[in-house]
Amino acid sequence: MDTIFFDKKPRIRATGTIAGPKECAGIVGKYVDKCLTDDTFGESTYEKAECKMLSYAVSKTIENAKLSEKDVDLLISGDLLNQIISASFTARDFDFPFLGVYGACSTMAESMALAATFVNAGHYKNIIAATGSHFSSAERQYRYPLELGNTRPPQSQWTVTGAGGALISYTGGGNEKKFCPAITCATIGKVVDYGITDVNNMGAAMAPSGMSTILNHLQDTGRKAAYYDLIVTGDLGALGSRILKDLLWEKGVDIQPNHVDCGEIIYNVIEDEFQGGSGAGCSAVVFNSYIMDKLKKREINRVLLVATGALLSTVSSGQGESIPCISHAVAIENV
């Protein structure tokens, strides 16, 4: 069994989010804590801006939880940059322990699953799970310098500029129970590789891993897809979402009625973004702002967050490797 169950109901006590100008023109604009008007966030490099966003998300999460830094026991975080420097340098800003993770765009779900595990086991009381990404730092690390002005193929996605954090707590019931959704279980993904080599087609590469994790989750929990009000994938984009739905349909699972992809919905107007948003920040921003708002207002009560990640590097692609992918799932419920 790949799914772990949390009997102590670790709760998402608060979240903190920030997003770039392009992102805030879309659906998350009125839900995030801060909309950037300048995607450099006043910093001299995009990497420093990315780190500052992640640091902001962590600080804001603490503030929104009405806690102070000394109440936080642990930060679990990672990002897309080489050696996860955004997360590491963010951790340097705070005086609590840090666990670095790498799951590419699956990082939000991975860090939430780990946080829930620690909280459920009673090791820590308050843990922040956080991640983020930046279009311009990702572009120049994974693809080409922006200055080259390369055209983008129609199957490509647009790395989200933004960051989000969630404070996972043991609250022991009481008042928080009414307002804080609980993480009830998590399914840790396996690495799945269907042989896709097109680094501009992440949706197609990641969809099979999404299928694998969703199937394992439903089998382990004995739930039907319809159990969830929403099955939220991370950043498959429009094409990847369609592939996921097709793959699951072939296996007899229909997620069409309740599926939404963070990458597909984050941008209102699709111009250069083509298939939609991607990046670790995509599900981090959409889940921790828009989806959490719906959960807290009880407009929806059962969400399966399936964050999808492509585990390639420029070196692996350059050496002719295909793209191994992974998806981790976290069930968040009003219970």
46, 80 contact by CB (below 8 A): no
What phi and psi values does residue 187 have, to the nearest 5 degrees? Answer: -115, 120
Is 7 within 8 Å of 225 (Cβ atoms)?
no
Contacts (CB under 8 A) with a second copy, residues 65-94: 73-74, 78, 80-85, 88-89, 91-92
Look at strands 259-261 and 162-169 and give their pairing. unpaired
Residues paired with 325 in a beta bridge? 192, 310
Instruction: Rule CB under 8 A: say whether 197 interacts with a second copy.
Output: no
Residue selected from 123, 224, 251, 298 as contacting a second copy according to rule CB under 8 A? 123
Nearer to a second copy, 24 or 84 (CB): 84
Per rule CB under 8 A, is residue 220 in the interface with a second copy? no
Q: Is 196 helix (H, G, I), strand (E, B) or coil?
A: coil
**Around Cβ 64, how many Cβ atoms within 10 Å?**
16
Determine if 316 is a binding residue for a second copy (CB under 8 A).
Answer: yes
| First vs last C-alpha separation in the chain | 23
User: What residues contact residue 83 under an 8 Å CB cut-off, 6+ apart?
Assistant: none
Location of structure tokens 């990315």: 50
Query: What secondary structure does DSSP assign to 261-272, as a single string?
Result: EHHHHS-SS-ST
Tell me whether residue 1 or residue 269 sits nearer to a second copy (CB atom).
1
From the list 59-67, 97-105, 250-258, 265-273, the region that binds a second copy by CB under 8 A is 97-105
- Choices 43-51, 164-172, 271-279, 300-308; region in contact with a second copy by CB under 8 A: 43-51
Pairwise CA distance, residues 7 & 184, whole Å: 7
3-state SS, 274-309, equals: CCCEECHHHHHHHHHHHHHHHHHCCCCCEEEEEEEE
- Binding window for a second copy (CB under 8 A); candidates: 16-24, 225-233, 249-257, 310-318: 310-318
Stretch that binds a second copy, among 171-179, 186-194, 230-238, 245-253 (CB under 8 A): 186-194
Q: Identify which of residues 161 and 187 has a Cβ nearer to a second copy in the complex.
A: 187
- Using the rule CB under 8 A, which residue among 32, 114, 284, 286 binds a second copy? 114
Task: Report yes or no: 25 and 173 within 8 Å, Cβ to Cβ.
Answer: no
Q: Does 27 bind a second copy (CB under 8 A)?
A: no
101, 168, 202, 214: residue in contact with a second copy (rule CB under 8 A):
101
Which of 15, 17, 117, 241 binds a second copy (CB under 8 A)? It is 117
- The one-letter amino acid code at 160 reads V
- Of 59, 120, 156, 184, the one binding a second copy (CB under 8 A) is 120
> Is residue 110 a contact point for a second copy (CB under 8 A)?
yes
- Contacts with a second copy by CB under 8 A: the residue count is 53
Measured distance CA(315)–CA(190) in Å, rounded: 22
User: Is 48 a residue that touches a second copy (CB under 8 A)?
Assistant: yes
Where does this chain bind a second copy (CB under 8 A)? 2, 4, 44-45, 47-48, 73-74, 78, 80-85, 88-89, 91-92, 95-104, 110, 114, 117-118, 120-121, 123-124, 141, 188-191, 193, 311-316, 319, 321, 324, 326
